[in-house]
Amino acid sequence: MYRIMMVEDDITISREVAAHLKKWGYEVLVVSDFEHITEEFISGKPHLLLLDILLPFYNGYYWCSQIRKLSNVPVVFLSSASDNMNIVMAMNMGADDFIAKPFSLDVLSAKIQAVLRRSYESRQEAYLLEYQGVVLKMADASILYKERQAELSKNEFRIMELLFERAGGLVSREELMKKLWDDECFVDDNTLTVNITRIRKKLEEIGLLDFIRTKKGIGYYLQGVAGEGKIR
């Protein structure tokens, strides 16, 4: 089931759209905290974002640019500010489509279907993984925490991907080495240890201390944000 997040401060419109999309089998998340939309996006993990332009605190262009730093999830603007300048601005900020208000609910659902089909039929759905405020960005193999970002090598990214997928649980050293082998990367026990050490150093530099914990003789797990490292 596709999950759609709607950022619309007109309660009547958001309720009508949400009810209509649910009839089509979508899961709908309606944002009510307009000051922390990025956090809502990370926790909600939507497959598509419906976004108004005129919003409290910051406009839709700002939020679209913030989302694009994290994800390539499709964004569809819904707005009565439908002059050419606003449409061009929306597309330049990374929008996938623009629907002018007032609009037909049937047209809206048809456009959503088309955007989802273009976006997901030929590629993986996931663009980011999140655990306790720490974001693993799939698009550029980097890790983000409180607007601080660290780039990961291919091996480092594959290790973190599996740890995020199993967040809250233990991942054995054997599973991590198999993950790297499956991706045609030669790795032995010592190489894995070196990569874990490098990842921990990068995490500390963006403010994450002890994010990866060791279960001696078994493997590794994500503990969550235990403390702040040195910011360089």
Query: pLDDT tens digits, residue range 124-180?
Result: 445 678 888 898 887 678 899 988 899 998 889 889 989 998 888 999 988 888 877
Domain hosting residue 57, numbered range:
3-120
Q: How confident is the model at residue 228 (pLDDT cuts 50, 70, 90)?
A: very low
Based on the domain organization, do 106 and 205 belong to the same domain?
A: no
| 184-205: average pLDDT | 82
Half-sphere exposure of 58 (CA within 13 A, CB side): 13
For residue 193, the Cα-to-chain-centroid distance in whole angstroms is 28
Q: Which of the four pLDDT bands, split at 50, 70 and 90, describes residue 60?
A: confident
Among 120, 137, 160, the domain-final residue is 120
Q: Which whole-number Å values give the CA distances from 19 to 13, 23, 70, 107, 116, in the listed order?
A: 10, 7, 28, 15, 19
Establish if 230 belongs to a structural domain: no
- pLDDT over 50 at 33, yes or no: yes
Say yes or no: 18 and 62 in one domain: yes
CB within 8 Å of 57: residues ≥ 6 apart: 34, 35
The residues, any chain, with a CB within 8 Å of residue 32's CB and separated by 6 or more, are: none
Residues 10 and 111 in one domain: yes
- CATH value at residue 92: 3.40.50.2300
